[in-house]
């Protein structure tokens, strides 16, 4: 899924209702990036760097990072 961040919450609720497994949900997390190589921290979400680890993540990998969504 990709789109405006507010949409993610509602699409995730719909996917849960449709019993889509979290490991089958992929999210594009867009963050303001600066360096793009994991040095500046602008895109950091806890221990993830969107520029280096993403920008596409599996939902099940973000389970302990609710602020990512």
Binding footprint of ligand FES on the chain (CB under 6 A): 33-36, 38-43, 49, 51
Smallest distance, ligand FES to C-beta of residue 45, A: 10
In terms of Cα–Cα distance, which of 28, 27, 30, 31 is closest to 15? 27
Q: Where are the alpha helices (DSSP H) in 1-69?
A: 5-17, 50-53
- To ligand FES, the closest distance from the beta carbon of 30 in angstroms equals 12
Burial class (CB within 10 angstroms; exposed 0-12, middle 13-18, buried 19+) of 65: middle
Kindly tell me which of 9 and 32 has the beta carbon lying closer to ligand FES: 32
Token pair 């507010």 in the structure block, residue: 6
Taking CB positions, which residue lies at the least distance from ligand FES?
Answer: 51
CB of 50 to ligand FES, least distance (A): 6
């Amino acid at each position: 899924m990709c789109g405006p961040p507010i949409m993610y919450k509602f699409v995730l609720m719909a996917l849960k209702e449709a019993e889509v497994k979290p490991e089958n949900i992929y999210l594009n997390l867009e963050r303001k990036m600066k360096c793009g190589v994991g040095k500046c921290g602008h895109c950091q979400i806890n221990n993830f760097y969107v520029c280096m680890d993403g920008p596409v993540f599996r939902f099940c990998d973000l389970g302990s990072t609710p602020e990512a969504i």
